[in-house]
Structure 1
């Protein structure tokens, strides 16, 4: 079999979840949308179910997959519903639901939902993506309470720049949120992963750790709590061919890298069809048999090239870590001009092997 694979360490996942809980003292919804950021939503949910306060997904399809797998914990739909007829399924499967738009509120008022719902009422405090306008927030809350359709209402918002530790925008959003919800007695959820780690003064009853669960930092600098995260996914493969090249030889498509001396080049069974970022340039770090080295040339669909020159013992069959516990996913992402969220979510074709159940 092709040697490319993703090793998923579920004990590291649990460590990261507990870190979010201990850091905040709040209840924590483990965000496992997008197939748990490429880590496998069902396996991740099963690994956390006995200790997680609940889960969060993007949409009802993702929630139903978990319910069908026997996950009985609370599940929040972060985008709420897209059509009013989803409300019957939301009630049937005891899902929690975000309401971020007035049309959703009107749909709830007009629809017989069978039983009152657990609603998370979302305010647009300044990200300007989705959310109730601050001026309409109190009225929306009162309409939910008066409708008889809400068993419980949690007040929430989402930060646009919490990963920028020197930005004033997070404090501005908190001030907008607090002013708009003044006088409302309800639980509050504001903090995503960067806010959990980087904004300890933001109060709330619930937090929503996402990327930190998987051991990747959202910051572009060292941060004390982020430095305690444990990588959950190790993407690895093997060298399948070795080339001895003199100086002046181009490597890979386009000849973007040209050897400047005699070099040993290893070809690795890993490419952009597996989810490794095509835009990763020469110099992107890799680990070969425990020795740090680098990517050379352009990433192909199924293969990429690495430098074996300073790893003389390496050859066909040598293990290559593309990211994981030694090569941080955040470093690979930064080199490729993207973020760890994307490279995790882009994982494809590679079998996932789990440990730490």
Structure 2
């Protein structure tokens, strides 16, 4: 029998989350963001469950080509744009939509003899200072792109750095966008997951939900999305593979970063940092054992982690463990470990076997 750790992807939950997002923005089209191999869930496992989306957004040409060859006919948006001028031939061949965020890309499009115009998303830097043109330059770049025979529809695109932090944090970026684009007759795509949930005024013609499709919170706090009915799509689970009765004053794990104060019943779980579980997760990180909340003790090892079973006497070898999922939100684990659900979901490694379920419960 293989090692008991596994990740289970619930496509019914993914389908439900997309439906929920559509209800939040009923007048907008939806780009389902499937970058990073569908946020670690596996693009090949997920795209069919997202078939009712209006488009797919990702980064890699390989993933875009996979979707096209799998029969996807909806638009596919390359969120980081193209990386070399010769990429435009591939973009044209597979009918991809491309973000444009730099002047060299505008020049490359001007020099490209397209047989069919390429749809473009003009990226605006509204204060995140990552990708995009200055708001002062947007109108000029929009006019340049709109005049090019190689360019088809031009959509305005931006991103919010703090959409999960309340209305006050949105005022300045929205002001910048309004000043830069008020005179432009173009569709808009501004809303990420957080803006989709909490700032309906940003929905416009297109929204770009990512993490919320997979049932995790853009703020990293599971309680922030509790009222939306989103369901976790991935469950990471394993089993107890050994149990030790440890006397008071004994150290647990590498470096003895945890020591027992009383006699404790310590379980060993088949999961470690080589599976993608964060090594820096401290003692006290929650896990679910036999349906009960328990806590890790000691340093996470490459292949194993330890859990206090003192108050879970029914646990034995082979008892199931949920590391995150339907009973334990991934964001809860991330918060204790000093990270986000995003990182945990995308960090699950290739040696963890995946399975797919369509359980509606």
Report the TM range for the smaller structure's normalisation.
Answer: over 0.9
Report if aligned partners of 1:158, 1:190 keep a CA contact under 8 Å in 2.
yes
**TM-score using structure 1 length:** 0.96
Aligned to 2:3: 2
Q: Name the counterpart of 1:280.
A: 281
* Offset at residue 253 of structure 1 (A): 0.4
Provide the residue aligned with 2:216 in structure 1: 216
- Partner in structure 2 of residue 305 of structure 1: 306
Paired residues of 1:46 and 1:71 also in contact (CA < 8 A): no
CA contact (8 A) 1:212 1:226 kept: no
Q: CA deviation at 1:174?
A: 1.1
Asked if 1:36 is matched to 2:38, the reply is yes
Shift of 1:229: 1.3
Q: Tell whether 2:205 aligns with 1:205.
A: yes
2:352 to 339, 345, 350: 350
For each residue in 1:266-291, what CA deviation from the matched residue of structure 2 results, as whole angstroms up to 9, or x when unmatched?
10100011111111111111000111
**1:333 matches 2:334:** yes
Instruction: Tell me whether 218-227 or 87-96 shows the greater mean CA deviation.
Output: 218-227
Aligned residue-pair number: 355
Cα distance in 2 for residues equivalent to 1:204 and 1:174: 13
Structure 2: segments with no counterpart, 5+ residues: none
Measure, in 2, the Cα distance between the counterparts of 1:241 and 1:212: 36
- Structure 2 residue aligned with 1:320: 321
Distance 1:24 1:286 in 2: 35
Q: 1:235 to 1:203 in 2, by over 3 A?
A: closer
Contact 2:112–2:150, Cα closer than 8 Å, also in 1 = no
Query: What secondary structure is seen at the aligned counterpart in 2 of 1:130?
Result: coil
Residue 240 of structure 2 corresponds to residue 239 of structure 1: yes
Residue number in structure 1 paired with 2:161:
160
Deviation at 1:220? 5.1
Question: How big is the shift at 1:74?
Answer: 1.4
TM-score (norm 2): 0.95
Deviations 1:100-149 (A, max 9, x none): 11111110001112210111111111111010111111111111111122
TM-superposition CA deviations, 1:188-217 (whole Å, max 9, x none): 011000111121232411000000011011
Q: Deviations over 1:16-65 (max 9, x none)?
A: 1111111112111000000001000122112112x110110013232123
Q: Alpha-carbon deviation of 1:226?
A: 5.6
Moved more, 269-278 or 57-66: 57-66
CA contact 1:163–1:195 (8 Å) conserved in 2? yes
Q: Hey, what does 2:100 align to over in structure 1?
A: 99
Q: In the superposition, relative to structure 1, how do residues 100 and 139 fare at CA in structure 2: closer, same or farther (>3 Å)?
A: same
How far apart are 1:227 and its partner, in Å? Answer: 4.6
> How far apart, in 2, do the equivalents of 1:193 and 1:331 lie?
18
**Residue 197 of structure 1 contacts residue 226 of structure 1 at CA under 8 Å; is this kept in 2?**
no
